[in-house]
Amino acid sequence: MRYFVGVDGGASRVDVLVADETGRRLGRGHSGPIYGGNGQDHINARIHMLDAVDEALVASNISGEQVAGIFLSCSGWRSLRRVEASEWLAVLKIAPEAITVNDDSDLTALWAAANFPDPAIMVTLGTFWSSNGVVDALEVTHLIDKLDLDQTSAALGSGMTLGSLALGAAIRAPFGGQPTQLTELLGAHLAVEGIEGLRAWAKQYRSPADRAHLCSLAAQAAQAGDAVALQLFAQAGVGVAQATIPMAHFMDCADRPLTIALSGNVWRAGSCIITPFTETIAAALPQATVEVNAQTPEEGALILALRIGHIHAPLHG
């Protein structure tokens, strides 16, 4: 029996999934982030990757020597190459020839998680946001990506931005701002006293991961009907759609069937962000279909590991 591993590493954490050659899921592993989100490689990236992979192998009751293929999908990890990955994973006795690294982009794993639609736009809302396309199995980078141009409308949908906006709304509320459940909700979650406690927390915790952590609380408030939180997610949905529509034209796919696949934790907020996104897309791209990825990024990475091993069995179990 051969065994395969999928690894998804990003600014929030590393997620790992192991399966055998039949596609049967065996075990998972999780650890901290592999990317710090500030343009620098995360100081604990090696530790986090090894911890997550080791946990998944132990949960699967196999050793690294039994791994026939491992696919590393590492968003934002610009320096990781196969040489470095081989050095890291040698600690777990995973053979260098078993390793495939998809550096600086997680598009391929996300595409696999969406079952390889073509043409397609993959819209990811996690700690950060990303939007890349696929046409005829070739990647199309967002037309203003890495050009240092204004991407504010799309950035509204990142967990980092939503968390920061929620924190600002919570602090402003008692001082003439719109009343919101966020003030009490964030204060209780962060275990701080009043507005001064929230302000002190905001001064101390400024990293993208810190702020993105608050996004799930904002989602809770929105799902409970809080007007301020609902407005934040509605703006995010429309903003991300407005950044996606030009991408369809750039790919010459605006007037043809097109899949827009959504992935990332922010979409878990549900209808408060998905509905405004979908409605904005439908008005501009009537032939587009919006789908939330049914499979996770690490499942997509695992599917790729299996396919590189010439196995096309679907994941199950």
Question: Which single residue is written with the structure tokens 């904005």?
Answer: 280
Confidence (pTM): 0.89
Strand 67-74 relative to strand 3-9, pairing? parallel
Q: How many helices (H) and strands (E) does the chain have?
A: 12, 10
CATH fold label, 116-293: Nucleotidyltransferase; domain 5 (3.30.420)
Question: Which single residue is written with the structure tokens 């939503």?
Answer: 162
Which CATH architecture best describes the domain 3-109+297-308? Answer: 2-Layer Sandwich (3.30)
Question: Which single residue is written with the structure tokens 């065994």?
Answer: 3
The tens digit of pLDDT for each residue in 260-315 reads 999 999 999 999 999 999 999 999 999 999 999 989 999 999 999 999 999 998 99
Long-range contacts of 188-196 (CB under 8 A, 24+ apart): 189/214, 189/217, 195/171
For 78, phi then psi, to 5°, come to: -75, -20
Domain map of the chain by residue range?
3-109+297-308, 116-293
The tens digit of pLDDT for each residue in 206-259 reads 888 899 999 999 999 999 999 999 999 999 999 999 999 999 999 999 999 999
What is d(CA 1, CA 20) in angstroms, rounded to the nearest whole number?
Answer: 7
Question: Which single residue is written with the structure tokens 């132990």?
Answer: 58
Question: Residue 309, Cβ neighbours under 10 Å: how many?
Answer: 17
Assess whether the region 3-109+297-308 and the region 116-293 belong to the same CATH fold: yes
Smallest Cα–Cα separation from 119: which of 302, 285, 253?
253
